[in-house]
Chain A
C-alpha cells in the first residue's frame, strides 16, 4: 500500500455527491437517536476512500464483515450499527451502510450518539492513514478527519465508555491525542511512519467475526481479546511470510477496560432472577473462580505436580458447579 493517497479531481464530484446524501445521513442519525433507549452498544464504522479499486474493495469488505460480526455474533441491533463509507461502499448496498464518510457526517453521527448520554460506543476507522501528531488523519471523501478532530468530537462523550479503534495505516500518533479516562484506544501502528497496509485491521475484524479469539471461552470476545488476537496473528503473518514487520499495534486503556469491553455489552448468560438455587450456585462458582485465580498467582511457588493436583481439584469442582448451573438454566 502506498503511504498516502493523493486526492484526484474525482473528489470534487464526491463532495458534490456528498451534499446530496445529507438527508439520508440525517435520517440515519435520527434512527439511532430513536433506538437509543434500548441500545447498549453503538458501533460506528468509518471507512475511508480507497483510491485504488483493490483498497476500496478491501475497506468495503472489512467494514461489511465487521458489521456482520457485530450483528450476527454480538447480537447488536441493526439500528446500533452505523457504517459510513465512501461512494464505492454504498454500492455494496449493505443494510448497515448509512451514508458517506464525510467529516460532516461522521461528526454528525458521533454528536448524535453523544447526545444520547447512555450506552457505550465503539468507533472503528478503516482506510488509509497519513500525517503526523495532531495532523494524523484518515483519508475521507472531502476533508479528512484528524486526531484533533476526533479528540474534539469524542470529548463530548464525557466519562462514557468509548472505544476508539483506528485500523488505518500510520495511525500511531493518534493514540495519545484521543486517549482519555474510561476510553479504550487502539491503533494499528505505533507511529506515523508505519505507512504500509495494515494487516492488523483484517485480523482485528477476523477476531470479532470468527472463532479463535475467545481465549477465556466465556462465549464473548472482549476488545482486549480481539486486540491480542490481531496482534499475535499480525506477528505470525510477518514471521511465516518471511517478511519484516512494518506495523506494531498499540493500545491505551486507562482503567484496564478493554478486557471488560464487549460489543454485546448486555450479554453474559441468563440472570438468576428469583431462583435462589441459581443465585447460590453463581456465588459458589464465583468462589471457585477466586480460588483458581489465587492458585495461579502461587504457581511459581509450588511444584508442578502439587500445582496441577490442586488445579485439577478446583477445576473439577468448578466444572461440576457449572454443569449444575447449566442444567438449572436450561430448566429455567
Chain B
C-alpha cells in the first residue's frame, strides 16, 4: 500500500517527521532514514528501498539495544516497505509498540502508530492510541491534527475545533493548514480552502501534500493556470509519485465528480502502478459510475497490494455477493435486486422509476444517455459498504448520479423504511446532479430531494417535529449560508437529519417567494461553476446574510404558533393529558385535549404527538368515521409504520371508501411489500373499483412472493388478465396454475373458457 506510506507520510513527512528528524540530526539512523525518504520522493525508489531494508537489518542485528527513537525510525522504514510487502505494516505496528514500551513518554511513536491505524481505516484503535497521547499531553500538536482527522473519518463532532487548537499552537503547521483546507473544501468553501493551501505553501513550498491540495482545488475550480503550475511543481519534485493525482481524485469524489475522479485516479495508476490507493480510488469511483467489472479489477489490484484496506476488502466481499442478485433491465433503468425479492420489488420499482424519470427530466431539463443503475440491498451493512466502504452508515439511500442504491424494506437492520420515497429521493439527486454537471452543493441537492419527496406522494418526505423546532429555538439550526456544515460536519447527532428538512424548507421558501423557476436558475448557475454566494446574488437578487434573515422570518411565520407550543411545552403537556385519560379508559374525555394539542401543532404526525392517540380515543368511542379522517390527515404528514396504513385501509373499508382503502394499502406496500394477504386484498379492491392494471400487478405480486398455493395465485392472476382483456397472458398464467395442479377445477374451467372464447 503506497497510500499506507503516504498516509503515514501525511503526518510523518509533512509535520512531525521532519521536525523530529532535524531535532536529532546527529542520530545516524535518523539521518539514514531521512536520506532514504528523500530518495524515495525523488523517484529513486530502488535505492530508497535498499536503505529501508538496511535499517531493518540493523534492527534485526541490534533490536534489543535500539532506543525508542531508533525503533520509531525502523517502524517508519517498515511502513515504506509495506508498499511491496503488506506484512511490513504489521511489523511496523509491532516495532511502534516496542518503542512505546521502551519509553512510554514517546508521544511521537504513539501518534505514528495511531496514524498507521487510521491509514488502515481502523479508527477505533487510532482513537485509543490518540487518547493515550492526550493523557500525557493534551496539547501535543501532531496528536491534535490526527485527532481532527480521526473525528472527520468517524463523522464525529469536533474535528474543526480540535484542528483549531492545533493551529492556535502552531499557526504555520503545514499539515494542519492542509487539513483545514480539506475541511473547508468539504463544506464547499473553496476560496477559504485555497487561502489555507497558499499559507501552507508559504511555510513550505515543496510540501507534497500542500501542492497536491493546491492542485486539487485548482482542478475543482477549473483554474487552468494554477492547475498547470501546481502540477509542474509537484512533478518536478516527486516525479514518480501519484499522490497528487490521488488527492485530486479524492477531492473530486467528495464533491460528487466521480467521472473526473476516476479519470485522475486512472492517470495516477499510470504514473505509479504500485500506488494501491490510486487503484482503490479508481475502483471505488468506477463502482459509483456503475462500471462494476472494471471496478472489481482495480479493487482486486489494490487489495493484492494492500490487504489491510478495510474499505477495499469490504467492497470486494460485497461484490462477491452480486451473484445473489438479479439484474433486470427496465427501459432506461437497470435494477440490481437480490433474487429473493427481485420479482416483487421490480413490479413496483419499474413504475416508480418511470414516473420519477418523467417528472424530473421535465422539471430539471435533464435526461440521461446512460442507463440509471438502481441497486437494492436487503442488508443495511451491505448498503453501507457500498456507500462508504464500512458498515454503520445511518443513511437509507445514496445517489452517485447515474448509480443509485437504497435499502430494501426487507433489511432487518433498517428499521421503519419507506423504500419508495427513498428511491424517489435518490432519483431526484440523479437529476439535480445531472442538471448541474455534479456541481450542485450538498445542501441544495438534499433539500430538493426532500422537497421532491413531499411533492411525489402525499405522506412522503420529512416533516416538522417538536425536536426540530426546539433546535431552532435553541439556535442549533444553521443559517442557509452555512447549511452544508450540517451535512458534512454536524455539531450534534441530529443535525444531519434536521439539515435535510431545513434544506427542503429553504427550497420551499425559494419556490414561494421567487418561483419554481428560480430553483432551476440556481441549478444553471451552479452548472456554470458559480458559488452559492454568486448564485444567490444572481438569481435571488440578494446576498447571503439577507437571505439568511429571510429564511429566519419564514421559519417564524410558518411555524410561529407551533414554536410557542414547543417553547412553553404546552403541546407535549396537553398530549400527555390526553394520553393519561386514554390510559385510564376515559376515551371520551381524552378527545378534547388531544384535539386541542392537534390544533396547536397540526403539522406534526409523529408517534408521540396528538394524532395517533386521538385516533385511538375516537376508535374507543366508536367514532370510526372521524378516526379515519384524523388518521388520513396523520398519514399525510409523513411516514408512518406499515400497520398504520393497514389499519387505515380497514377503517376506510368499514366506512365504505373502497378507493381510499386501496390507496391506503398501496401506501402500505411502500413500507412492506411482502404480505401476501394484503396483496390479495388490494387486488380485490382494485378489481372492485375497476383498476384492472393495478389488480394485475397485485396478483403478480402474490405470484412473485412464491406463495405455498401457487396454483391459486396463478389462477387469480389469470382471472385478472382475463378481466383486463389480456387473453394470451391469461392463458400463460392458467397453464402455470394447472402445471402445478392439473385437477384444479376452476382453473380447468377458465382454460376451457379462454379457448372457447366465453366468459363465465
Contact = CB atoms under 8 A, between A and B. Distances in A.
A243 to B, nearest CB: 8
Interface stretch (B85-93, B137-145, B653-661, B747-755): B747-755
A213 to B, nearest CB: 6
Contacts of B741: 215-218
A312 interface: yes
B708 A233 contact: yes
A242 interface: yes
A315 B755 CA distance: 12
Interface residues of A, number: 33
A229 to B, nearest CB: 4
Nearest to B378: A239
B324 interface: no
Contacts of B745: 217, 322, 326
Contacts of A319: 738, 748-749, 751-752
Contact of B708 (A232, A242, A312): A232
A308 B732 contact: yes
Main secondary structure of the interface of B (DSSP, over half): helix
Contacts of B731: 312
7 smallest beta-carbon distances between A and B, as pairs: A217-B744, A319-B748, A217-B741, A242-B412, A229-B708, A216-B741, A240-B674
B735 A215 contact: no
Given A318-B748, A319-B751, A289 B708 contact: no
Contacts of B674: 236, 239-240
B739 interface: yes
B742 A292 contact: yes
Interface of B: 410, 412, 672, 674-676, 706-712, 731-732, 735, 738-745, 747-749, 751-752, 755
Contact of A212 (B675, B707, B735, B755): B707
A214 interface: yes
Main secondary structure of the interface of A (DSSP, over half): helix
B734 to A, nearest CB: 8
12 contacts: A213-B708, A215-B708, A217-B712, A217-B744, A232-B708, A240-B675, A311-B738, A315-B748, A318-B743, A318-B748, A319-B749, A320-B752
Contacts of A232: 706, 708
B409 to A, nearest CB: 9
Given A217-B747, A240-B672, A212 B752 contact: no
Contact of B712 (A212, A296, A326): A212
Nearest to A230: B708
Interface in A227-273: 228-229, 232-233, 236, 239-240, 242-244
B340 to A, nearest CB: 8
Nearest to A312: B735
A214 B709 contact: yes
Contacts of B412: 242-244
A316 B735 CA distance: 10
A208 B672 CA distance: 27
A322 B739 contact: no
A215 B743 contact: no
Interface in A301-332: 308, 311-312, 315-316, 318-320, 322-323, 326
B743 A218 contact: yes
Contacts of A228: 708
Contacts of A229: 708-709
A306 B747 CA distance: 21
Indicate the member of A214, A315, A316, A320 with the most B CB atoms within 10 Å. Answer: A315
B752 A311 contact: no
Nearest to B677: A212
A281 B363 CA distance: 66
Contacts of A236: 674, 676
Contact of B735 (A239, A315, A323): A315
